[in-house]
């Protein structure tokens, strides 16, 4: 018989708060006596975490905001150390947020507390030297992308792949029939879904290119009746999208908070990079990926980025199953060429759909949180000393 487990959980961003909450729910479902405290937001609190500090609501991103917030970050770190020292947990579970959490991993390891990391830092993309540091401070890395398990093989980092949590979310989010019907009401003409991003600076960089791409596409033979639906993450971004010069000249809709209906209804997708590409892959809708960066960042990226693709769909596939356009100057004509091909070339469309189907299958079945929780509890059980009867 083992004593009930006590965990310290650290999630520093809204996405980490969501994933951490689902993981904690799965852990407590399998081990109801388990308790947890640490850093998280309202979702982790709802899952039973005793919240010492709500980091996700104060998430800091970008070089200059981080520098400005250093005093606060130092206070958070000191509070974490105080908790580890005052009541040492059986393990620390860190959710993404590597800048803060890798430092916390080192501190926990120094105190002899096992460290479990959920959602790996993207060290496979750049700064691979961090793997050596991770091997020194992480006892179990729970990854959500299938190629990450291969990446860590032989690195000295025990790794577990339990599937991608996106599959659980998509399975639990059925499409809204009313929204879907509204998007499909004009059958026959191609429908292009456009996803310019969920962050204001990304939308600002891509909207001029995407509007010109749409205008270019409508000039092609047989594409003049094309309709466009812009997917906005929230109302503020919807207003921003609707205000862009030239958009009123397009037959378009702006749909807010219904991305999966757009992905299902659309014939082709034009999107920025990120998790959206995996969501589109799940719906098996042919897509074109575009990402615009400044000339300086593009030059730096070419030197430090160590992966052949930027789109997660292509990274999971291990090959380019959908076209990518990256740079400081994106060509609307080239983006329109790729979209047009998916409508007019049946073989190109079929090859893309088959590639996306392989991506979907590699993300595993629903139940990633449950499988990951079972592996974590196995790790805790292996390390816990038995209690005498």
Q: pTM of this prediction?
A: 0.89
Terminal Cα distance for the chain, rounded: 7
Backbone angles phi, psi at 323, to 5 degrees: -70, 145
User: Between 244 and 57, where is the model more confident?
Assistant: 244
User: Between 92 and 385, where is the model more confident?
Assistant: 92
CA 112 to centroid of chain Cα atoms: 31
- pLDDT confidence bin for 1, thresholds 50/70/90: very low
Q: Which of 57-71, 167-181, 250-264, 271-285 has the lowest mean pLDDT?
A: 57-71
Distances (CA, A) of 82 to 29, 69, 76, 77, 87: 29, 20, 10, 9, 8
Distances (CA, A) of 256 to 203, 209, 260, 265: 14, 21, 11, 15
Full set of structural domains in the chain with CATH: 6-163+367-383 (3.40.50.2000), 177-362 (3.40.50.2000)
pLDDT at 305: 52
Q: Which of 53-57, 107-111, 185-189, 334-338 has the lowest mean pLDDT?
A: 185-189
> Which residue's entry shows tokens 């930027």?
310
Q: Which of 52-56, 123-127, 309-313, 354-358 has the lowest mean pLDDT?
A: 123-127
Report the C-alpha gap between 300 and 58 in whole angstroms.
Answer: 29
Q: What is the DSSP string of 249-304?
A: GS-EEEEES-HHHHHHH-SEEEE-SSTHHHHHHHHT--EEEEEE--HHHHHHHHHH
Contacts 24+ apart (CB under 8 A), 354-359: 355/317, 355/319, 355/321, 355/322, 356/280, 356/281, 356/284, 356/285, 356/286, 356/313, 356/321, 356/322, 357/284, 358/317, 358/321, 359/278, 359/281, 359/313, 359/316, 359/317, 359/321
Query: What is the arithmetic mean of pLDDT over 326-340?
Result: 92
52 — alpha (psi -120 to 50), left (phi > 0) or beta?
alpha
Q: What residues does 161 pair with on adjacent strands?
A: 143
Report the C-alpha gap between 71 and 49 in whole angstroms.
Answer: 25
> Which residue's entry shows tokens 């079929």?
350
Average of per-residue pLDDT values in the chain: 90
The first and second tokens of residue 344, run together, are: 């007019």
pLDDT at 6: 97
pLDDT at 382: 82
- pLDDT confidence bin for 389, thresholds 50/70/90: very low
Burial track 226-244 (b if 16+ CB lie within 10 A, e otherwise): bbbbbbbbeeebbebbeeb
pLDDT at 360: 95
Give the 3-state secondary structure of 186-219.
Answer: CCCCCEEEEECCCCHHHHHHHHHHHHHHHHHHHC
Residue 63: pLDDT over 60: no
Distances (CA, A) of 55 to 37, 44, 51, 79: 13, 11, 9, 12
pLDDT at 62: 56
- pLDDT confidence bin for 364, thresholds 50/70/90: confident
Residue 94: strand, helix, or coil: strand
Note whether 201 and 186 are within 8 A (CB).
Answer: no
Residue 144: pLDDT over 90: yes
pLDDT at 307: 60
Note whether 36 and 7 are within 8 A (CB).
Answer: yes
In 3D, which of 360, 168, 352 has the Cα closest to residue 278?
360
Report the C-alpha gap between 287 and 259 in whole angstroms.
Answer: 14
């Amino acid at each position: 018989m083992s004593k009930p487990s006590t965990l310290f959980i650290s999630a520093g961003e809204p996405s980490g708060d969501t994933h951490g909450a689902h993981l904690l729910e799965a852990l407590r479902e399998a081990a109801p006596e388990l308790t947890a405290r640490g850093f998280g937001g309202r979702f982790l609190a709802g899952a039973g975490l005793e919240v010492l500090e709500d980091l996700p609501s104060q998430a800091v991103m970008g070089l200059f905001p981080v520098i400005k917030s250093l005093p606060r970050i130092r206070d958070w770190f000191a509070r974490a150390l105080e908790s580890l020292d005052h009541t040492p947990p059986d393990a620390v579970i860190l959710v993404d947020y590597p800048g803060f959490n890798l430092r916390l991993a080192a501190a926990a390891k120094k105190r002899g507390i096992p460290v479990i990391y959920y959602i790996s830092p993207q060290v496979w993309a750049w700064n691979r030297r961090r793997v050596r540091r991770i091997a020194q401070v992480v006892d179990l890395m729970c990854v959500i992308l299938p190629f990450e398990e291969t990446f860590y093989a032989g690195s000295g980092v025990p790794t577990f792949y339990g599937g991608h949590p996106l599959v659980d979310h998509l399975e639990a989010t059925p499409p809204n029939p009313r929204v879907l019907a509204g998007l499909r009401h004009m059958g026959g003409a191609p429908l292009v879904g456009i996803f310019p991003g969920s962050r204001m600076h990304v939308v600002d960089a891509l909207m001029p290119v995407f509007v010109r791409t749409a205008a270019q596409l409508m000039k092609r033979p047989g594409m003049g009746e094309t309709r466009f639906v812009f997917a906005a993450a929230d109302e503020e971004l919807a207003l921003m999208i609707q205000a862009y010069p030239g958009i009123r000249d397009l037959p378009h809709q702006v749909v807010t908070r219904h991305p999966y209906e757009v992905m299902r209804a659309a014939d082709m997708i034009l999107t920025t990079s990120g998790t959206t590409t995996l969501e589109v892959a799940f719906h098996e809708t042919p897509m074109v990926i575009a990402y615009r960066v400044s000339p300086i960042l593009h030059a730096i990226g070419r030197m430090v980025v160590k992966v052949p693709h930027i789109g997660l769909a292509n990274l999971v596939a291990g090959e380019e199953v959908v076209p990518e356009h990256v740079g400081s100057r994106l060509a609307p004509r080239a983006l329109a060429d790729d979209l047009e091909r998916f409508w007019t070339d049946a073989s190109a469309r079929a090859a893309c759909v088959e590639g996306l189907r392989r991506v979907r299958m590699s993300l595993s079945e629903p139940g990633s949180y449950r499988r990951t929780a079972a592996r974590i509890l196995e790790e805790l059980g292996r390390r816990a000393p038995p209690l005498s009867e």
